[in-house]
Structure 1
Amino acid sequence: MKKRLLATIITLSIVLSVVLAGCGQNSASSGSGNTINLAFTGDPESFDSSKVAESAANTVIQETQEGLVRLGDKKIEPAGATKWEVSSDGLTWTFHLRDYTYSDGVKVKAQDFVYAVRRMFDPATACPSAGIFYCIKGGEDFLNGKGSVEDIGVKATDDNTLEITLKTPTPYFEQLANFVSILPLRQDVIEKAGVTYGTDPKAMVFSGPFVVDSWIRGSKIILKKNEKYWDAANVKLNEAVISIVPEQATQEQLFDSKGLDIIQDVKAEYVDKLKTKIDAGDITSLVGYYPSCSYVAFNNKDKDKIFTNAKIRKAFSLAIDREAYSQNVIKKDVPAYGFLPFGLNNGEKIYREAVEEPLKSMSGEDPKKLFEEGVAELGLNTSTPITVTFLQRTAASNNKTISEYLQDQWQKKLGVIVKIDTAADGATFNKSIQKGEYQVAVTGWGGDYNDPMTFMELFLTGSPNNSAFFDNERYNELVNAGAVDSNADKRLDMFREAEKILVADNAGIAPLTYNVKTTYMQSYVKGILVQAGGPAWELKNAYIEKK
C-alpha cells in the first residue's frame, strides 16, 4: 500500500467571531445558548443525498451527515473513516470506519456506504452527480443497463471496512470521498419512506454534527445539535436557524439589524455601506476567488432546432457584453471568457493563469453575421423575426434583472424576439433543465474538488449534469484522457483544447462570470469555514462568542 497524499485544495477559509444581538447568550465555552442565524434564497429541493445537486441542499446535507472524510481547514480530514489506504496500482481504496451512530442510535456500517454507491448508480434514482463517480468500476455500465449491481466496485468486507475499486487510477478520489452522493444511507429508512424520502426530516436519520429538527417550506429550516454525533463534545452550536429569504434587499435589512449573522455574495453598493462597520471591527469580511462559473446554457438538442446550430449559439454568446453584465447588472463577480474559473489548480499551476480564456480571441467576430449564417444553415424562415424562449429561474428581482438584460442584448444585436418564461421555483427550474424542457437559460457550476475535471466532466456526453446536452466526440476524447493522465502538462494541453471546443468552437454554453466569493459576518461569530468543496458555511466548529 502506498502512503495516502492529502491533495491540495484551494479554499477560502476564515475563523471569525460573534453574539446574536440582544439574546444575552453565554459564551461558547459554556456550551449553551448558541444559535446562529443564516439564510438561503430558496428552499432546498430535498435532503436526499442521492438526488440533489444544488448548494442549499448540499449545505444542509453536509452539516447533518458524516461521510468517510470531511473538508477541514484547507485539507481533507478523517471523519467517518479514521484512516484509508490505496493499493500500489491506485485502483483499490480501503476505508476503515470508526464506531459511530445515526441520530437514532443505530450503528453506521460499511454496508450503508455500499447501499449509497449502488443507489447513486441505479437508473431509477436519476442521481444528477453519478457521472462524477464513473471512475468507480462497473458504475457507469450499471447506470446504462450494461452490467449488474454486483459488478459495481464497492463492498463491505466487514461492518467497519469499506473497499472501493476504481476502473482507472483517480488521483483526486480522496476529494471525491467528501461528496454528498456517497454519504452513508440506511436502506431500511429509505425503503420505509419510499419516494418521499428526503422531504420529511422526521422520517430521516442523521450521522453528522446536526440534525434537521424542522423544515417549514418558504419560511425556515432549523438544525439542532446531534447529541449522538461521535464528536458532539466539540460541536458548540446548539442551533442553526436558516431562513428562506429570496430577496437580497431583505437579507441586507436583516443583516443590518443583526437578524442574520452571515450574508454572502452581495452587490457592490451594499459593500460600500458596510465599510464603516468593517473598519470599526463590527463586521468581518472575506473576499476571494471561488471556483464557480455562471453561464448561459443553450439546449443543444433544442426541439425547435435553433440552438442545435453552433453558429447561432456562438452568435448569442458573443452578443453578450460581459463587462457591462458584471459591473452594471449583477454588480459583482468578474466577466468570464472561459468555463474553468480562477481558484482551480492543474498540478502545481493555477489553470486560469496558465490558459488564455478562449472567447478573448474571438472579440472581432460579428455575432449578427454568425447568426444569419446559422439561420441559413438550418433553412429557417426569415420573413419574420425568430422567437426564442428564455427560462428564468424564479420571479425574484435579481433573476428578472438578468433575464431582461440578456433579452435586450439579443433582441438589439441579433434581431430576434426573446420571450421570458419564469419557473415557479428553483426546484421546478432545475427539473426543467435536467429534462431538457427549455431553450436557453442561465445556470452555473461550483467546483466540488480542486481539479479541472470537476468542471470538464460536466459536458461529457450523457453526463447527468450536462445542462446543455452538449455532445462532441473530440471533447469526450480529450476529457476522458485528461481524467487518467498523471502528466500535468499533458493534461493542461488536453483541457485547453477541450475548453476551446466547449465555449468557442462549438459554443455549447456561453460563460458569463467567475464568482468572487464575498462573505460578511457579524463580529461575534467564530469558527466558521467558507471554502470550495464544502458547504456554504461549515458550522461544525462554529460558535457564538459573548460580547
Structure 2
Amino acid sequence: MGLQVIEALMHKLTAGLLCLVLAAAPVLGGCEQDRGTGAGYLFSYTLDANPRSLDPQLAEDEASLTVIGNMFSGLFRMEDTGAVTPDVAESYEISPDGCTYTIRMRQDNYWYSLGDARQEATRTDSEDAAKHATAVTAADFVYAFQRIFDPLTNSPYRERFACLKNARQIMDGEMDCTRIGVDAADTYTVVFTLEKPDANFLSLLATTAAMPCNPSFFYACKGRYGLDEDSVISNGPFYLRMWFYDPYGKENQIYMRRNALNSRAKQVYPSNLTFYIQNAQQAEQNFRDSLTDCLITADSSYAASDKYTALSYESLTYGLIFNPAHPQYANLTLRKALAQGTRSASYGSMLGADAREATGLIPPAVRLLGKSYRELVSQQSVQPAAEDAAALYSRALEELDAASLESVQILVPEGLTDYAALHEVVRQWSDLFGFYIGIAPVDPETYAQRLAAGDYAIALYGTGSDFNSPAGALQQLLDRQAMLGMSAETVLAVQEQLEKASGMQNLSGTVEYYREAERLVLEDACFVPVFYKQEYLVFRPDNEDLALNPFTGQVFFADAKHFE
C-alpha cells in the first residue's frame, strides 16, 4: 500500500475519531451514515488559507465566505439557475412602488453555538433541545444591517446596500446607523424600506453580508466576534465545533457538525464537515489522495475524466489591461487600435477546452431572468463601432509624437493556459502595426506583486463578479477604475446606466441599461476581453448535490450526499 494512500486513510480515521471525541448530546446527530439516502457522511474540503473572520458583515476572503456559507442562513438563497428563493423567509410582499419589502420569516430557524453544544451535553436525553434554543427573529436581521452601516464596523458592504432608506445620510455621518431602513414589524416580520426601487434587492439579500447577527451573542464576544471557535454562532446547516490554526503547524483544520435543530425544518444531509487549512497546491493533492471530497480547479483534465463529476462555470473574463501610468500604452487611441486588432485576430480555435473566445465583458456564468446574461445580450450588440486599426495606430503615434512604440511584454500569470491564443493576438498586432510585443509568464505571487506595483505596460487580467448579477460584474470594473485607467467620463456614464437599472422594479427592465454600460466600458478600451475561463467543481461519482457559488468560491454542503 502506497504511503499517500496510508496517509489518506489515517486522515479519514482521524476524522472518524473526531466524531467520537467531539460528540455532544444525541440531538446533535452523530457520524452514522444512511447509505439509502446518502445522509450522514463526513465531507472534507481544503481551504487555501485560514479564514480571516467568520463575521458575515465583514468577511470578504474566499476561505471565510465558504465557512460562513455553511454556518449561516439568510432570508433568501441564490440557486444555480440564478433564481432567488426563500430560505429563512417564509413569504414576502413587495409594495406597488417597489420600495417596501415585507418579509415573513419561518419560526423554526435556530441559533446554535459551541457553548450551546457544551450545555446540551449536560442535559438528560429526555429534554428537548428546542425548548432551550434561541430562535432567529426579525431583530437579528435588523441588527445585522445596523452593523453594516455602523462606522465602527467598517463593513465593506455599505455601498452594496446604499439603496436602503437613510443609507447615504448615515454614510455621510448625518444620521445614526439605527435609522437605516430595516425594521422589525413583529417578532418574525422584517421590513426593508428603500429610497427607490432596486431590481437587484432580492439578489442582495441572498449574499453573505445579509446574514443575521444575534445582538446578545455579539456583545458577549467582547470584540472577538467571528475570530475563534467560542465567538461564532450558527443559524445555518452546520455549527463550528473546532477551529485550530497554527501558522507553523500542519494539522490546521475547522471541524463542523450538523445543526440538528435546523435540520428538522430542512434536512441537512452530511453529519459533519472538516475543512483542512493548507494551500492551493495541497488542496489538489488532498483531493487526488481521496483525503477530501471536492476541488475547485481550472484544470479541464478533471472534466474529461470519467473518474469525476465536474460542474463547469464560465465565471471569469480574461482580458488585456494597460498601465494608466505608462507614457505610451495609456493613450486612448492606442488602446482602441490594440482592441480593434484583438477583435480581428482569429484565435478562438487555439483556446483549450477550458476557455472560449470573449468579446464581451460580463462572463456567461452571470444569469438574469433564468438565462445566461450572454443569451440575453449578444457579444456583438455591445461592440463599439468598427474602426480601421492601422489608422488608429497612426493617429496614436501622432498624438504621442513618436515614430514607434516602446517594445514591451504582456505580463501573464504562469500556468493559466498555454497562451497560444494570446501569441496569435500578438502576431495580428505585428501584421497590423509592424511591431512585436512579447509575452512574459511569471509565477502567481510575482504576477500579483507586479500588478500592485504598476510594474507592467500590458497585462492579462481576470474579472468576474462578487454576486450573480450583471450589476455586480460591472461594479467590479468600476471599483478598479484607477487600475484600469477608465476615463472619468466613462465612469460617470456607466454609473448612470447602473443607477437607471437599479431603479427598475423588475429585472426585465434592466437589460438594456446593462447592455449600454457594457458597451461604454468596451468603447473606453480600458479592458479588452480575450477569453472566458472555465472553472470546475470536481467530485467523485459517489457524491452528489454539492454546490458552488462561482463568484465567491463558496462550496455548499448542506444538500451533499454520499453513496457507497
The structural deviation recorded for 1:165 is: 0.5
Q: Distance in 2 between matches of 1:445 and 1:322?
A: 24
Contact 1:96/1:161 (8 A) holds in 2: yes
Q: Of 65, 83, 93, which residue of structure 1 is paired with 2:91?
A: 83
The structural deviation recorded for 1:68 is: 1.4
Q: How does 1:102-181 map to 2 (within 5 A)?
A: 102-103=112-113, 104-105=115-116, 106-122=134-150, 125-145=153-173, 147-181=175-209
| Structure 2 residue 493 is the aligned partner of structure 1 residue 474 | yes
Contact 1:38/1:241 (8 A) holds in 2: yes
Describe the shift of the 1:487–1:93 C-alpha distance in structure 2 as closer, same or farther (beyond 3 A). closer
Q: How does 1:107-506 map to 2 (within 5 A)?
A: 107-122=135-150, 125-145=153-173, 147-187=175-215, 197-212=225-240, 213-216=242-245, 220-227=252-259, 229-231=261-263, 234-244=267-277, 246-247=279-280, 251=283, 253-272=285-304, 274-275=305-306, 277=307, 283-287=308-312, 289-290=313-314, 292-296=315-319, 298=321, 302=324, 309-314=331-336, 332-347=354-369, 350-357=372-379, 377=399, 385=406, 398=415, 442-446=461-465, 448-449=467-468, 451-460=469-478, 463=479, 468=484, 470=486, 471=488, 472=490, 473-486=492-505, 491-503=510-522, 505-506=523-524
Contact 1:323/1:335 (8 A) holds in 2: no
Q: Distance in 2 between matches of 1:62 and 1:50?
A: 12
Q: Distance in 1 between matches of 2:330 and 2:480?
A: 19
Contact 1:59/1:537 (8 A) holds in 2: yes
The structural deviation recorded for 1:420 is: 8.3
| Structure 2 residue 42 is the aligned partner of structure 1 residue 35 | yes
Q: Distance in 2 between matches of 1:49 and 1:516?
A: 28
Q: Distance in 2 between matches of 1:375 and 1:187?
A: 62
Describe the shift of the 1:41–1:313 C-alpha distance in structure 2 as closer, same or farther (beyond 3 A). farther
Describe the shift of the 1:142–1:299 C-alpha distance in structure 2 as closer, same or farther (beyond 3 A). farther
Q: Distance in 2 between matches of 1:126 and 1:511?
A: 34
Q: Of 528, 532, 544, which residue of structure 2 is paired with 1:526?
A: 544
Q: After superposition, what is the alpha-carbon deviation per residue over 1:147-197, rounded to whole angstroms, capped at 9, x for unaligned?
A: 542442112344433211112223442222111111112456556767765
Contact 2:76/2:85 (8 A) holds in 1: yes
Amino acid across the alignment from 1:499 = E
The structural deviation recorded for 1:481 is: 1.1
Q: Of 89, 110, 118, which residue of structure 2 is paired with 1:100?
A: 110
Match of 1:48 in 2: 55
Q: Distance in 1 between matches of 2:69 and 2:455?
A: 30
SS in 2 for 1:398: coil
SS in 1 for 2:234: coil
The structural deviation recorded for 1:209 is: 1.4
Amino acid across the alignment from 1:333 = A
Q: Distance in 1 between matches of 2:335 and 2:225?
A: 39
Amino acid across the alignment from 2:254 = I
Amino acid across the alignment from 1:510 = V
SS in 2 for 1:537: strand
Q: Which consecutive unaligned segments of at least 5 residues does structure 2 have?
A: 1-8, 17-30, 117-133
Q: Distance in 1 between matches of 2:285 and 2:78?
A: 32
Q: Distance in 2 between matches of 1:67 and 1:263?
A: 25
Q: Which consecutive unaligned segments of at least 5 residues does structure 1 have?
A: 1-18, 278-282
The structural deviation recorded for 1:293 is: 2.5
Q: Distance in 1 between matches of 2:143 and 2:373?
A: 36
Match of 2:525 in 1: 507
Contact 1:385/1:416 (8 A) holds in 2: no
Q: TM-score, normalised by structure 2?
A: 0.71
Q: Distance in 1 between matches of 2:298 and 2:220?
A: 42
SS in 1 for 2:333: helix
The structural deviation recorded for 1:372 is: 7.2
Q: TM-score, normalised by structure 1?
A: 0.73
Q: Which has the higher contact order (CA 8 A, sep 6+)?
A: 1
Describe the shift of the 1:244–1:150 C-alpha distance in structure 2 as closer, same or farther (beyond 3 A). closer
Q: Distance in 2 between matches of 1:141 and 1:129?
A: 16
Contact 1:530/1:538 (8 A) holds in 2: yes
Describe the shift of the 1:328–1:419 C-alpha distance in structure 2 as closer, same or farther (beyond 3 A). closer
Describe the shift of the 1:107–1:225 C-alpha distance in structure 2 as closer, same or farther (beyond 3 A). same
Q: Distance in 1 between matches of 2:165 and 2:54?
A: 27
Q: Distance in 1 between matches of 2:444 and 2:519?
A: 31
The structural deviation recorded for 1:55 is: 3.9
Q: Distance in 1 between matches of 2:340 and 2:218?
A: 47
The structural deviation recorded for 1:332 is: 1.1
The structural deviation recorded for 1:338 is: 0.7
Contact 2:42/2:274 (8 A) holds in 1: yes
Number of residue-to-residue matches in the alignment: 505
SS in 2 for 1:93: strand
Describe the shift of the 1:159–1:245 C-alpha distance in structure 2 as closer, same or farther (beyond 3 A). same
Aligned-CA RMSD value: 4.9
Q: Distance in 2 between matches of 1:115 and 1:138?
A: 15
Describe the shift of the 1:122–1:358 C-alpha distance in structure 2 as closer, same or farther (beyond 3 A). farther
Amino acid across the alignment from 1:63 = N
Amino acid across the alignment from 2:238 = F
SS in 1 for 2:233: coil
Match of 1:13 in 2: none
Q: Distance in 1 between matches of 2:160 and 2:186?
A: 26
The structural deviation recorded for 1:480 is: 1.4
Q: After superposition, what is the alpha-carbon deviation per residue over 1:490-518, rounded to whole angstroms, capped at 9, x for unaligned?
A: 64333222211112x10232334334453
